[in-house]
Amino acid sequence: MARYGDHTGSGMMQWLRTRGLTVFVLFFVGLFCLGPVIWQAVTSLKPDQDLVRLPPLVPERVTTVHYDRVLLTSSLPRSLVNSVVVAAGATTTAIVVGAFCAFALARLPIAGKSVILGVALVTSMFPPIAVISPLYLLMREFGLRDTLVAVGLTHAVYSLPLAVWLLTSFFQQLPKELYQAARIDGCTPFQALVTIMFPLARPGLAVAALLVFIYSWNEFMFALTLTASDTTRTAPVAVALFPGLYEIPWGDLAAASLVVTLPVAGLALAFQRHIIAGLTAGSVKG
């Protein structure tokens, strides 16, 4: 009986050690990921005179003056609206075009599918700096310089290969018998795609749309090069232009960065079920 109790006690201690180690690792990883966000939040609530010294980490006095400057006296609200318009337009364009291309590559008899997918993957690997100069000249010739159309179209084209790659993999996981049954019932390929495949592909479409939206929301180089005024600048460009000639407003930068980050974070939390379902469905074959 004593041996059994000793064995049970040692097993319980081992379980507690393992559990404690797991909790410690998760806490450390969470702190590592959330540390910059927490630091920015603390900085955004400190008065200007407290930003010149490190301690204390927790502000002795809390102020919202930085948020007042960012939201009431700066061009950031207009830039946020521009980012929403650009990201929504780029996401809609990339997902609609990418879904049709991905469905064709996944279900229609097209020669050289692997080559097409390979080319799409290779084009998505080009760094923006490699194409920014000819892209700038092209947009200037078309009269689209300093317009939201230029930024949104650029983001859509640059993120289209990623959307095609993701959605092709997802469409391949859907039962092909459903598409065949729809064709036998008299549906055209377009009708089968819209009425049968698109509803089933909602998790994959949500994942691709969210990734494209986040890319467009955070993209900096194209937006900086193709815009030149406060009426067309997106949020990342507006935040980058906050520093003055002789000073860096750390509190305003921290507040602006949090304001810009919150919409994307909220969007990811709102669609987390679709994201998990889409990534899981896209990773299982058959």
For the chain, where are the alpha helices, taking DSSP H only? 2-44, 65-68, 76-107, 113-123, 128-141, 148-173, 176-184, 189-192, 198-200, 202-218, 221-226, 235-240, 250-270, 272-283
User: What are the domain boundaries of the chain?
Assistant: 2-44, 74-283
Decide: 207 and 245 in contact? Cβ < 8 Å: no
Does residue 51 sit in helix, strand or coil?
A: coil
pLDDT at 279: 59
φ, ψ (nearest 5 deg) of residue 54: -75, -60
Q: Residue written as tokens 């929504």?
A: 88
Q: Which fold has domain 74-283?
A: MetI-like fold (1.10.3720)
Closest by Cα among 118, 203, 202 to 164? 118
Decide: 261 and 169 in contact? Cβ < 8 Å: no
φ, ψ (nearest 5 deg) of residue 112: 75, 35
**pLDDT digit string, tens, across residues 121-179:** 787 788 888 888 888 999 999 988 889 999 999 999 989 988 888 888 888 888 888 88
pTM of the predicted structure, to 2 decimals: 0.82
Task: Assess whether pLDDT exceeds 90 at residue 3.
Answer: no
